[in-house]
Amino acid sequence: MSKNVREPVAAQPGDTAAVAPGAPVRLRIAPVVLAGGAGTRLWPLSREHFPKQLIDLVGKDSLLQSTLLRMQGFSAGHEIEPSAIIVCGDEHRFITSEQLQASGMQGRLVVEPVRRNTAPALTLAASLALADGQDAILVVMPADHAIPDTCAFHQALSIAAAHASEGAIVTLGVPPTRPDTGYGYIKLGEMLPDGVRRMERFVEKPAIELAAQYVASGNYWWNSGIFVVRATVWMQAIEALHPAIHEMCVASVAEGKQEGQFFRPASRQFFLSPSDSIDYAVMERLDNPASPCRGVVVPLEAGWSDLGSWDAVWDAMDKDAEGNAGRGRVVFEGAHSSYVHSDGRLVACVGTSNIVVVETADAVLVVDRSHVQDVKDVVARMKILHAPEADTHRKVRRPWGFYDSIEHGDRFQVKRIVVQPGARLSLQLHHHRAEHWVVVSGTAMVTRGEEQFLLSENQSTFIPLGVLHRLENPGKLPLEIIEIQSGGYLGEDDIVRVDDTYGRCPGPQT
């Protein structure tokens, strides 16, 4: 186990001293951000290797950054842990770290070896929160929500923290404004003080007729997916209700390692953890006699949306007099209730109604707003066909910067490569391609076999097939080059990596 992480202290079921009701307990607040999703319903902007939480869908900040910044100014009389725990996937760790630094927030990045849904992710976070032997109130937030009214959000969290400190698992429920099949629902139980309700049961996304009945009854709220719970209480609940997740996640943290800014749970143990959501693993089982705690629901009336579809994005945007919303180079003429996103090209909508148009460098989506939930089915079909657009953008981000594949043919490919100051690519070679590099701006340090030399603007070099090489930026400004690849095979997996600053294993990442 890493010397920086002590074995987590997990309360045992029946250890009522840690969770006995009574006067509120002053505990530190530990924000937990779950940032491991894919967001396929927001294709083509959101993709497997650059999902929606990393995109600025409705503001200048990405959804991940907005989630972190939303906790600023909240205390509810408790000490706030300055570093949020962020659980993310291995493929997103560098861009997550980059966005964390850009937001000015602190965070501990927990890198999941494989996706196992939200219950194991929260169990990893709770185990780490308890690693210093002290309890904490976890504010558990998905990284892909929009909540415009931060003040109302903090008020709901204050009420939730009070109940959580007394041993409840609290979820924030959103009073519904319309029947919606894109959200799960919570059936409400008896009324408690402060407008809080007992949680009776969770209901998965219903058909539209049933959703309308739920809304009309007034006894169902939308499930926001935001939870507030003491770390010890969560560990009690997951051990009692889903012991296999508890066992594997605790073991994974205990054998985990700190690698620079990333905490890596042990892969072998985490692979053995069942995959399950917080809702299924715990919340739907709280009425089980084995459950060591209760569930309550606090109302959240802050303009919440989980931005799970393009219709939800449209709903969260400012609109013109005809109900249209757009981002980028967009023109509406005689259009109504439409949403358009342009990443580059001018998009004009004339006489359209209730549609979504999303333009990116390599794909265009046109969908009726009543069918936005079906976008995920299109992505699933593209994956079956092995279409690269299902998973990756033309512009691919790397820890050293990014590359953009601007043209390709049978035996050539042209890339624009941007390397950040002080960054460098791995030392590598290719078996099937040669490369020409032309410096557009900045200064390049080139390693080619036994040689090492500098190139400046308008200078170029050639990297023969099979020769070890590396590109780095020794300057203080971004380095931009044009790379022309030629050969019989130009796939990203034609890389033999010999050395890498970022600790990446050999594979399809330069």
pLDDT for residue 355 is more than 90:
yes
pLDDT of residue 25: 54
Cα–Cα dist 330/339, whole Å? 10
pLDDT for residue 507 is more than 60:
no
pLDDT of residue 20: 42
User: Among 245-254, 341-350, 389-398, 476-485, where is mean pLDDT lowest?
Assistant: 389-398
| Mean pLDDT calculated for residue range 487-491 | 92
What residues pair up with 222 in beta bridges, in sequence order? 174, 185
pLDDT in tens, 5-57: 333 333 333 333 344 444 455 689 999 999 987 778 999 999 988 999 999 99
pLDDT of residue 358: 98
| Mean pLDDT calculated for residue range 215-230 | 95
Q: With beta carbons less than 8 A apart as the criterion, state whether 183 and 175 touch.
A: no
Mean pLDDT score of the chain? 90
The helix (H) or strand (E) run that includes residue 164 is helix 150-165
Instruction: Please list the alpha-helical segments (H only) found in 167-301.
Output: 208-217, 231-241, 243-254, 267-271, 278-281
pLDDT for residue 232 is more than 90:
yes
Q: With beta carbons less than 8 A apart as the criterion, state whether 358 and 341 touch.
A: yes
Cα–Cα separations (whole angstroms), residue 265 to 37, 92, 128, 200, 271: 18, 16, 10, 34, 10
Predicted TM-score of the model (pTM) = 0.85
pLDDT in tens, 359-415: 999 999 999 999 998 999 999 999 999 999 999 999 999 999 999 999 999 999 999
Cα–Cα separations (whole angstroms), residue 365 to 46, 53, 368, 394: 12, 19, 10, 15
Architecture of domain 28-299 in this structure: Alpha-Beta Complex (3.90)
pLDDT of residue 382: 95
User: Among 148-157, 347-356, 362-371, 491-500, where is mean pLDDT lowest?
Assistant: 491-500
The helix (H) or strand (E) run that includes residue 342 is strand 339-342
Indicate the Cα dihedral angle 62, 68, 69, 73, nearest 10°: 170
Cα–Cα separations (whole angstroms), residue 54 to 63, 100, 144, 348: 6, 10, 9, 27
pLDDT band at 154, cuts 50/70/90? very high
Indicate the angle between helix axes 243-254 and 118-129, nearest 10 degrees. 50
Q: What count of Cα atoms within 13 Å lies in the side-chain half-sphere of residue 251?
A: 14
pLDDT in tens, 445-457: 999 999 999 999 9
3-state secondary structure of 74: coil
pLDDT of residue 430: 95
| Mean pLDDT calculated for residue range 244-272 | 95
Q: What whole-number percentage of the chain has pLDDT above 90?
A: 76
Cα–Cα dist 338/355, whole Å? 5
| Mean pLDDT calculated for residue range 281-303 | 90
Match 């549609």 to its residue by tokens.
355
**Which CATH superfamily includes the segment(s) 395-499?**
Jelly Rolls (2.60.120.10)
Q: Cα-flanking dihedrals φ and ψ of residue 398, to 5°?
A: -135, 165
Q: Between β-strands 83-89 and 28-35, what pairing exists: parallel, antiparallel or unpaired? A: parallel
What residues pair up with 221 in beta bridges, in sequence order? 186
User: Among 53-67, 126-140, 278-292, 428-442, where is mean pLDDT lowest?
Assistant: 278-292
All structural domains of the chain with their residue ranges? 28-299, 310-384, 395-499
